[in-house]
Structure 1
Amino acid sequence: MSNLRVLDPAFGENFESALRRLIPASMFEGDQQLKMRIDVTENDKAYTVKADIPGVKKDDIEVQVDANLVSIKAETKSEKQERGDGDRVLRSERCFGTVARTFSLGQDVDSSGVQARYADGVLTLELPKKSPADARRIAIQ
């Protein structure tokens, strides 16, 4: 579910830099600040997911696991800015809102053993794999 940006090689790398000079940076940035970047690793027994969610309180993160589908949702809330007399905001780059990621894994997860930790802006999920049902030979009558 990642967004890939593909540029036509005929224009070269200079095309993007020329566009950045002509068009305000805010048009390029859009909601980039609200993207959740994740790493997923796997071993024989479990998947490990690390999601960067800086600036979010632990209570504002929601994780759901349904079979092999994992959903992470987080909400950053706006802090009330106190301005003194005559102060004005020159630039504000901190974004507030909801960010979510949903992805599927190659094998179902044992939801009873899922562990989640959140520290230093990184959510770490330990998702144990559900053992596949034992194959059984069916007697034909």
Structure 2
Amino acid sequence: MASNLTRFDPVGPGARMDPFRSFDSLFDAFDLMRPLRAFDSERIRMDVSETDQAFVVRADMPGVKKEDVKVSVDGNEVTISADVSGEQERTEGSSMWRERFHGQQYRSFTLPQNVDEDNATATCRDGVLELTLPKKPGGGARRLTVQ
């Protein structure tokens, strides 16, 4: 036998009186904040491959100037960050709006072996950042025998 009882939620939308709830819903159709939400949730997309000598990282960074990209390597931890800004204009019928945003994107990851920072290289061409991160000699993982 199914129960017809509904649990009361004291902080749910039905329990609180929000005089602006219907007013805010008027703006949902315009969706002005969509470009900003996409910017906030966007992560730097990348591929990492490994050879015997190095790790190669290719990161998509469309519209980012190479002067705004920063890469740091500390042992086996790599951090890529970029200052990003943009402007978007949209016109529909007699309505026009313009959005501007500025912020920072970053991605940090750990490699399985330390990187030789002195010989690491970074190039940014056509919206793709390419890192060549040589492996530090003798820095590989070591397996211990349990006694």
- TM-score bracket for the superposition, by shorter chain length: 0.5 to 0.7
TM-score by length of 1: 0.62
Matched, 1:73 2:81: yes
Aligned equivalents of 1:95, 1:38: Cα separation in 2: 23
Larger Rg: 2
Match of 1:38 in 2: 46
Q: CA RMSD in A?
A: 3.1
- Consecutive unaligned residues of structure 1, counting only runs of 5 or more, are 1-22, 134-141
Q: How many residues align?
A: 104
Identity over aligned residues, as a percent? 40
C-alpha distance after superposition, 1:59-98 (max 9, x if no partner): 11000001000000001134598xxxx98327x5x85421
Matched, 1:114 2:120: yes
Aligned equivalents of 1:79, 1:89: Cα separation in 2: 11
- Give the direction of change, closer, same or farther, for the CA distance of 1:60–1:46 in structure 2 (3 Å limit): same
4+ runs deviating over 3 angstroms: 23-30, 78-81
Higher relative contact order (CA 8 A, sep 6+): 1
Q: Which of 37, 50, 56 is the matching residue for 1:48?
A: 56
C-alpha distance after superposition, 1:11-43 (max 9, x if no partner): xxxxxxxxxxxx8774984723x3101100001
Aligned equivalents of 2:101, 2:60: Cα separation in 1: 15
TM-score by length of 2: 0.60
Higher strand share: 2
- Give the direction of change, closer, same or farther, for the CA distance of 1:77–1:31 in structure 2 (3 Å limit): closer
Aligned equivalents of 1:53, 1:41: Cα separation in 2: 18
Matched, 1:60 2:68: yes
